[in-house]
A and B are shown apart, each in its own frame.
Chain A
Amino acid sequence: MHFAFTPEQEQFRDAVRRFLRDRSPPAEVRRLMDDERGHDPGVWRQMCQELGLGALHVPEGRGGQGFSVTELGIAFEEMGRALLCAPYLSSVLATTAIAEACGADEAEQIVSGIAVGEQLAALALTEANGRWDAGGVELIADGDRLSGSKTHVIDGHVAYLLIVAARALGSTGEEGISLYLVAADAPGITRRSLTTLDPTRKLARIDFANVEARCISSDAAPALRRTLDIACVAVACELVGVAEALLESAVDYAKLRMQFGRAVGSFQAIKHKCADLLLEVELAKSAARYAAEAATEGDPDLPALASLAKATASDAAMRAARECIQIHGGIGFTWDNDTHLWFKRAKSGEALFGTPAWHRERLMQCWEV
């Protein structure tokens, strides 16, 4: 297990950070959060083609860049820090599911289109019951016909390819779960953008009425489990980046803001908040990076470590968001101040793929407590 990044990994982080500083400043985040698509297609293509961020961690033989989840984690930390508005999480879900579920040739063909930034793809998993696992799938596959509804589909409103988790008639639990591939403009599909608490991450509801689709895996539960573990690690890293950005903003403001003739950051009430926050953020960073390394090294304990990382990173991000607003005082509650943008990403990230309490319970089950 590595506890430090290689010089190449540090260079990669610098490259992503420079790119995002240039292309995703807060003004651009504000422009894109009001944009219906929610991202800039030109910037996304550039990210895919220049930085390889479309399918970074997918093996080259399956259409990806052949880097590891460690590099993916680095990219996600930086994306969270910059609050990037782009279809990167949806791409991780889609490319991981395809790489895990399909044969190499088919995966290579589908993933390479996503990797160059030409095609957007979305994994349609969650339904009205709000579950993020194969066992929660209720949408029915009757032969090659899909009927049912998906919701909370990340970038589902703009994706061209939909990867749909469906259940064979009469099956229960994780049995009978398949993945289907279908173009989003196929007859019988209706899509609606949902109004999201976090306007920087777009979600959609997608209804399927007897839609013809192509089955790419008929025993998809293991692929979905692995996909969600990787996605949890990625989001944990993103939330670490979110938390770091919020902590830095809070500390910078505490140094500048004068009250009672001194910087508010000289009061222990504020100092101690910041110190506690730094501790929580650093612990979360360690957990997220450890989980990413575990995924890279094929550690069988990944499900537990992914849950540990997701729970601790979303708790840290939310604490950072709350304290950042508190330290800013009244100005922190205004629309014009940027804090709420990161607050909303943290809040939405708390619920995404399961709440911290849900992940802690899963951790206990994984460790057979």
Chain B
Amino acid sequence: MSETASADPSADSVRREVRQWLEANWDPNEDLVAWRNLLADSGWGMPVWPRQWHGRDLPQALAPVVDEEFARLGAVGVAKTGIRLLAAATLLEHGSDAHKARFLRRILTGEDTWCQLFSEPGSGSDLAGATTRADRHGDHFLVNGQKVWTTSAHHADYGLLLARTDWDVPKHQGLTYFVLDMHQEGVDVRPLKQMNGHASFNQVFFTDAVVPAENLVSAVGNGWQVAITTLMHERRGADGLRGVQRERDLPGRIYEQEREEIAVALEPYKWYPQRAGRVDLVLERAQATGRNTDPATRQEIAKLLTMARSAEWTARRARAAQQQGRPQGPEGSLGKLASSNIARQASHVHTLIAGANAMLAGEDGDLNGLIAEILVSVPATSIAGGTDEIQRNIIAERVLGLPKEPRMDTGPFRDVKRN
């Protein structure tokens, strides 16, 4: 390796290099896993990762150059669906070399699916109040308890597990972070049916599930710090739908295999547009039903469109400030709360427009049940990914600087009131 390899390369040289490599190696009739192994070997699949671990040490700012070259040829990238990249980012930061050697490649190839075992029935907003226990027995831990809201658990190979190993210290200090093998007798995955009839998530029950000590990602008692890493990456959007928005209609074996992978990954999310309220349908529906002539409905539509447009402009203000390198103002932290308000108002407007048909669902409902699906999906928006109440606390404390509430959970976890 040359002496100058550590200096940042230019965009042009990176573009030349990746283009050359793709032109020499890309083949749409290749097998998906074989191709991704090639990506993992070359470092072009995750170029910002370290060279030692399937990357090329590229600065983040040059990643778009690589993406552009992949897009230009229609070349398929590494597997990014589900929580794979959350798992990978966490392992890169906190895992041992043995973990990285064992897990990273099969994450990139898509051979392994991962799930996140954090939320519990007794700890939703208060994630650090987890009561799933992991007790040490020599060279392994036995896990007992229950997790919930686990996407993809029914076909996951591994789980990122946050479990309590010490009940006599304050709650954040008694947690430990593991990689759990989902294929074992002590793990029971059951679908969780939601009020809208879909089952996008699972409940996971542990009865003496076994985790070998070599699967510790954190030191014992240090799991919360590792969980924060996962959550930070989740907040930055490294999860779920990223990288799977495009639909490929291109011919070739590799595209067929990728389409199949995407279909499986997207299945749990197919009602997500409805949970955001489908503002896009409102004007068309108001006109088609004639409700656009009702003054009260017009007022509510105007409020909805005003909220939606203002939220969009607020997001653009935040982006513009960021591009100018200015400190982010309050506008950056308000998006989630705004989305909840918009979804709720949209659901209200859809009800006004549907009138008596708001009582119907399925094939008898308006738009073949789509309107009904909006009405019974919107309540998820103000809960999932941090409730509105938690968002308001965050905004009030971090943006407005209001004082925190006194805590009742600072003593040994054993004595903290819980569910």
Residues on A lying within 8 angstroms of B by beta carbon are: 2-4, 251, 254-255, 262-263, 265-268, 270-272, 274-276, 278-279, 282-287, 289-290, 308, 311-312, 357, 360-361, 363-364, 367, 369
Within 8 A of A (CB), among B362-410: 389, 391-393, 395-397, 399-406
**A281 to B: closest C-beta gap in Å:** 9
Contact A283 B295 (CB under 8 A): no
Contact A283 B389 (CB under 8 A): no
Contact B406 A262 (CB under 8 A): yes
Q: Any chain A CB within 8 A of the CB of B286?
A: yes
Task: Name which residue of chain B comes closest to A290, CB basis.
Answer: B313
Contact A271 B392 (CB under 8 A): yes
**B144 to A: closest C-beta gap in Å:** 34
Q: How far is the CA of A275 from the CA of B405 in the complex (A)?
A: 15
Tell which of B311, B316, B404 touches A266, judged by Cβ atoms closer than 8 Å. B404
Question: What number of B residues sit within 8 Å (CB to CB) of A?
Answer: 47
Q: How far is the CA of A276 from the CA of B341 in the complex (A)?
A: 10
Q: How far is the CA of A263 from the CA of B399 in the complex (A)?
A: 17
Contact A266 B403 (CB under 8 A): yes
Q: Any chain A CB within 8 A of the CB of B309?
A: yes
Q: How far is the CA of A363 from the CA of B302 in the complex (A)?
A: 7
Q: Any chain A CB within 8 A of the CB of B71?
A: no
Would you give the 0/1 interface string for B163-196, flagging 1 where the beta carbon is closer than 8 Å to chain A?
A: 0000000000000000000000000000000000
**Inside 8 A of A283's CB, which chain B residues have their CB?**
307, 310-311, 314, 334, 338
Contact A4 B310 (CB under 8 A): no
**Inside 8 A of A263's CB, which chain B residues have their CB?**
402-403
**Chain B at the A interface: SS class:** helix
Task: Name which residue of chain A comes closest to B282, CB basis.
Answer: A369
- Given A286-B331, A369-B292, the answer on whether A276 and B302 have CB atoms closer than 8 Å is no
Contact B389 A272 (CB under 8 A): yes
**Inside 8 A of A272's CB, which chain B residues have their CB?**
389, 392-393, 396
Q: How far is the CA of A287 from the CA of B308 in the complex (A)?
A: 11
**A37 to B: closest C-beta gap in Å:** 37
Q: Any chain A CB within 8 A of the CB of B324?
A: yes
- Given A278-B399, A308-B309, A364-B302, the answer on whether A4 and B283 have CB atoms closer than 8 Å is no
Q: Any chain A CB within 8 A of the CB of B289?
A: no
Task: Name which residue of chain B comes closest to A369, CB basis.
Answer: B292
Q: Any chain A CB within 8 A of the CB of B326?
A: yes
**B109 to A: closest C-beta gap in Å:** 41
Task: Name which residue of chain A comes closest to B388, CB basis.
Answer: A272
Tell which of A4, A255, A369 touches B301, judged by Cβ atoms closer than 8 Å. A369
**Inside 8 A of B331's CB, which chain A residues have their CB?**
282, 286
- Given A3-B320, A286-B313, the answer on whether A275 and B391 have CB atoms closer than 8 Å is yes
Q: How far is the CA of A344 from the CA of B317 in the complex (A)?
A: 30
**Inside 8 A of B341's CB, which chain A residues have their CB?**
279
Residues on B lying within 8 angstroms of A by beta carbon are: 283, 286-287, 292, 295, 298-299, 301-303, 305-307, 309-311, 313-314, 316-317, 319-321, 323-324, 326, 330-331, 334, 337-338, 341, 389, 391-393, 395-397, 399-406
Contact B309 A255 (CB under 8 A): no
Contact A282 B314 (CB under 8 A): yes
Contact A275 B392 (CB under 8 A): yes
Q: How far is the CA of A311 from the CA of B307 in the complex (A)?
A: 11
- List the 5 closest pairs (A to B, CB-CB), nearest first: A360-B302, A271-B396, A3-B320, A275-B392, A4-B320
Task: Name which residue of chain B comes closest to A361, CB basis.
Answer: B298
Task: Name which residue of chain B comes closest to A277, CB basis.
Answer: B400
Q: How far is the CA of A263 from the CA of B286 in the complex (A)?
A: 47
* Residue among B314, B397, B402 having the largest count of chain A Cβ atoms under 10 Å: B402
Q: How far is the CA of A262 from the CA of B403 in the complex (A)?
A: 9
Contact B400 A268 (CB under 8 A): no
**Inside 8 A of B405's CB, which chain A residues have their CB?**
266-268
**Chain A at the B interface: SS class:** helix
**B253 to A: closest C-beta gap in Å:** 44
**Inside 8 A of A278's CB, which chain B residues have their CB?**
330, 334, 395, 399-400
**Inside 8 A of A262's CB, which chain B residues have their CB?**
403, 406
Tell which of A270, A279, A287, A363 touches B313, judged by Cβ atoms closer than 8 Å. A287
Q: How far is the CA of A241 from the CA of B320 in the complex (A)?
A: 21
**A267 to B: closest C-beta gap in Å:** 7
Can you list 14 contacts pairing A with B, beta carbon distance less than 8 Å?
A4-B324, A251-B400, A254-B402, A255-B402, A263-B402, A271-B402, A272-B389, A274-B400, A278-B330, A279-B334, A282-B334, A284-B310, A311-B302, A311-B306
* Residue among A3, A270, A272, A367 having the largest count of chain B Cβ atoms under 10 Å: A3
Q: How far is the CA of A340 from the CA of B400 in the complex (A)?
A: 22
Q: How far is the CA of A289 from the CA of B317 in the complex (A)?
A: 10
Q: How far is the CA of A274 from the CA of B330 in the complex (A)?
A: 12
Q: How far is the CA of A367 from the CA of B287 in the complex (A)?
A: 12
Q: How far is the CA of A279 from the CA of B342 in the complex (A)?
A: 12
Q: How far is the CA of A59 from the CA of B303 in the complex (A)?
A: 35
**Inside 8 A of A274's CB, which chain B residues have their CB?**
396, 400, 402
Contact B298 A364 (CB under 8 A): yes
Contact A276 B392 (CB under 8 A): yes
**Inside 8 A of B299's CB, which chain A residues have their CB?**
357, 360-361
Q: How far is the CA of A361 from the CA of B392 in the complex (A)?
A: 31
Contact A287 B402 (CB under 8 A): no
**Inside 8 A of A3's CB, which chain B residues have their CB?**
313, 316-317, 319-320
Q: How far is the CA of A254 from the CA of B397 in the complex (A)?
A: 12
- Given A278-B334, A282-B334, A308-B306, the answer on whether A4 and B321 have CB atoms closer than 8 Å is yes
**Inside 8 A of B305's CB, which chain A residues have their CB?**
308, 363, 367
**B283 to A: closest C-beta gap in Å:** 6
Beyond A265-B403, A275-B337, 16 additional pairs, beta carbon < 8 A: A255-B401, A262-B406, A266-B402, A266-B404, A266-B406, A271-B397, A279-B337, A283-B310, A286-B331, A287-B306, A290-B313, A308-B306, A308-B309, A360-B299, A360-B303, A360-B306
Task: Name which residue of chain A comes closest to B302, CB basis.
Answer: A360
Contact A4 B306 (CB under 8 A): no
**Inside 8 A of A4's CB, which chain B residues have their CB?**
317, 320-321, 323-324, 326
Q: How far is the CA of A276 from the CA of B391 in the complex (A)?
A: 10
* Residue among B310, B320, B393, B401 having the largest count of chain A Cβ atoms under 10 Å: B310
Q: How far is the CA of A251 from the CA of B401 in the complex (A)?
A: 8
**Inside 8 A of A284's CB, which chain B residues have their CB?**
310
**Inside 8 A of A285's CB, which chain B residues have their CB?**
314
**Inside 8 A of A361's CB, which chain B residues have their CB?**
295, 298-299, 302
* Residue among B295, B314, B334, B397 having the largest count of chain A Cβ atoms under 10 Å: B314
Task: Name which residue of chain A comes closest to B286, CB basis.
Answer: A369
Q: How far is the CA of A267 from the CA of B302 in the complex (A)?
A: 33
Q: How far is the CA of A308 from the CA of B304 in the complex (A)?
A: 11
Contact A286 B317 (CB under 8 A): yes
Contact B400 A275 (CB under 8 A): yes
Q: How far is the CA of A286 from the CA of B321 in the complex (A)?
A: 13
Q: How far is the CA of A337 from the CA of B303 in the complex (A)?
A: 33
**Inside 8 A of A360's CB, which chain B residues have their CB?**
298-299, 302-303, 306
Q: How far is the CA of A312 from the CA of B393 in the complex (A)?
A: 24
